[in-house]
Structure 1
Amino acid sequence: MSGTPDDDEVDLGISLEAVAAIVDHARALQGKEESAPEQATEDDNSEAALLQEDPDDLTEASLRAFIAELNEDEQASLIALAWTGRGDYSPEEWDEARALAAERNEGRDAAEYLLAMDNLGDLLAEGVAAFGLSIEEVER
């Protein structure tokens, strides 16, 4: 027998592509929040200008809608990934984290909870990394 057994792979309960999209979106929103509007007028090509809200840009409302469209299991997995990235749970406690996330998310707005977290994109990326996976390797 060669290679790693397939049963060693963890089922995150959500696709890496979906997590990567949320990470990118959350990081883009965080960048917009950190840029000052007065900087944008200095140079139209500055980083601050490029991060300002544009109708075609990703918005918080579109991120909320994306998260709301996920099923309850995917939302619970997203919450558990953020907790894992924050260090609240280890990969060995994944089933427990997902179960608690599902319980706490029942009847609540997962997007509201997740978007209240500082550095959501980084937390999710760290959560994925805890399982030996990388968001950066996901095709976009």
Structure 2
Amino acid sequence: MLDVNPDTVCRLIALARVFHAKEAVVIPEQPTSPSDDWALQVLADHEDDEAFLEFKSIIDDLEPDQQQQVVALLWLGRGDGTLEDWPELLEQAQDDWNPSTAEYLIAHPFLADHLQEALDMQGYDCE
């Protein structure tokens, strides 16, 4: 069902946990504007963070359709749909795709938990 390697998603989960565990990272629960710029603004102070740089490098190395799958996994894991809704989540991720996928993903404070939940739903395990 996934074209993106589950091991890659597991590495993203690990990096997101490291990044979000740092006290200096502050990400608002609700963005202040409806645009995606809030993610870029939040990350401006963390552009040289090693965990973020590796996270971004992995995302940037993925094909756009694989990036879209990671976004759809985020949405699935946070309850925006069920496993039966997977095709619709993918379609929405395709419609919303832009080159700032890494920033969009890492700006979600519960990214690691949501990705892990979605992998579990899909039958994959990070251990």
- TM-score using structure 2 length: 0.74
Partner of 1:67: 59
Q: 2:92 aligns with which of 91, 100, 113?
A: 100
1:119 aligns with 2:110: yes
Bigger relative contact order, structure 1 or 2 (CA pairs below 8 A, ≥6 apart): 2
Displacement of 1:132 after TM fit? 2.8
Give per-residue Cα distances to partners, 1:77-134, cap 9 Å, x unaligned. Answer: 00000000000011111111111101101x3411111111112111100111122322
Aligned 1:1-140 pairs, distance under 5 A:
11-33=1-23, 58-105=50-97, 107-136=98-127
Q: Give structure 1 stretches of 5+ with no counterpart.
A: 1-10, 36-54
String of CA shifts for 1:21-74, please: whole Å, max 9, x gaps. Answer: 100111111122379xxxxxxxxxxxxxxxxxxx9x942122112111110011
Instruction: State, as a whole percentage, how many aligned pairs show the same letter.
Output: 31
Runs of 4+ in 1 over 4 A off after TM superposition: none
- In 2, the alpha carbon distance for the partners of 1:12 and 1:19 equals 10
The 8 Å contact of residues 28 and 58 in structure 1, kept in 2 or not, is answered as no
* Partner Cα separation in structure 2 for residue 95 and residue 13 of structure 1: 13
Task: Provide the rounded CA distance (Å) in 2 between the counterparts of 1:131 and 1:59.
Answer: 26
Amino acid at match of 1:16: P
SS in 2 for 1:12: coil
Higher Cα radius of gyration: 1
